[in-house]
């Protein structure tokens, strides 16, 4: 390697290190602050300073012993996110697969509609969706939060792009063996789409877990709140419950990390392959 190449490599390492630090800085600040007393947080705010004499587990002890509402919100978020992932992967993959491998009248028109909906901000769709949920009597229910996310346009588009690259010869072989179209999808094609399922599971799970606006619109009672809504209620003009807010925010990150670690084996390949097909 030439001298110029060594210098360039060191510059790239330094730049990547700086970017990595900026990305990790908010999380490190949050973790350190979660071990500080709430009174200290009110006085000095969230910083990277590590006052060893002030660090303790009182905030986490409070969450596990006294903050019952927090765990209700936690379980609501887990349930909603899990159902959203399962239903979205199931229905979106079938729609995307059908648009990719079957030649039927109106296929391109449906795909164009998917692209058009993908370009429309969700805020524009909220009012008609809210009126629909009200007409169906689903306000303040899990179904109202999950239903609009079941067939996500981004997931349909992604699965369609991925399925275009699947070998069609396997479909013909399965038909010759007497397999039904549903059997071809679930037994032959779906196993080949595992990387795309993993990538969408992470993206859809992350989106559902962090979703704030739509659950805020359709949920009413405290017992139905998800974590983003519940934690936001801790900030009021009359006082801020920082002992639950900061430590609870740290606990909120754990499911996302677990989800990524579980599917990381297929995540990059799923995004890469699905992004270049078509």
Domain boundaries, the chain: 1-66, 67-276
Q: Residue 275: what pLDDT?
A: 45
Orientation angle between helical segments 242-276 and 3-33, nearest 10 degrees: 140
Residues 6+ apart with CB under 8 A from 120: none
Residue 72 CA to residue 239 CA, distance in Å, equals 22
CATH number of 67-276: 1.10.3720.10
Q: Which residues of the chain fall short of a pLDDT of 70?
A: 1, 38-51, 236-240, 266-278
The number of beta carbons lying within 10 Å of the beta carbon of residue 148 is: 18
Whole-prediction pTM: 0.83
Whether the CB-CB separation of 253 and 140 falls below 8 Å is answered with no
- Look at residue 135 in the predicted model and tell me its pLDDT: 94
Q: Are 185 and 198 in contact (CB under 8 A)?
A: no
Q: Which helix (H) or strand (E) holds 243?
A: helix 242-276
């Amino acid at each position: 390697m030439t001298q110029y190449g060594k210098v360039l490599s060191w510059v790239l390492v330094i730049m990547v290190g700086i970017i990595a630090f900026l990305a990790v800085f908010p999380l490190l600040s949050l973790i350190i602050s979660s071990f500080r007393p709430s009174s200290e947080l009110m006085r000095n705010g969230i910083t990277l300073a590590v006052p060893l004499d002030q660090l303790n587990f009182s905030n986490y002890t409070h969450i596990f012993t006294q903050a019952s509402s927090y765990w209700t919100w936690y379980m609501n978020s887990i349930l909603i996110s899990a159902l959203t992932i399962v239903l979205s992967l199931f229905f979106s993959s079938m729609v995307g697969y059908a648009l990719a491998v079957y030649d039927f009248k109106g296929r391109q028109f449906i795909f164009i509609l998917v692209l058009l909906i993908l370009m429309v901000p969700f805020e524009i769709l909220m009012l008609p969706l809210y009126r629909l949920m009200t007409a169906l009597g689903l306000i303040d229910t899990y179904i109202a939060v999950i239903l609009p996310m079941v067939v996500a346009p981004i997931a349909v588009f992604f699965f369609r792009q991925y399925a275009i690259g699947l070998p069609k010869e396997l479909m013909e072989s399965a038909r010759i063996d007497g397999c039904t179209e549903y059997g071809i999808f679930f037994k032959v094609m779906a196993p080949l789409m595992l990387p795309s399922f993993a990538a969408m599971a992470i993206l859809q799970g992350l989106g559902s877990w962090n979703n704030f606006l739509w659950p805020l619109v359709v949920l009413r009672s405290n017992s139905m709140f998800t974590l983003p809504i519940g934690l936001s209620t801790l900030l009021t003009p009359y006082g801020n419950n920082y002992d639950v807010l900061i430590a609870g925010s740290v606990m909120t990150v754990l499911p996302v990390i677990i989800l990524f670690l579980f599917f990381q084996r297929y995540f990059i390949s799923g995004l890469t392959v699905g992004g270049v097909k078509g």
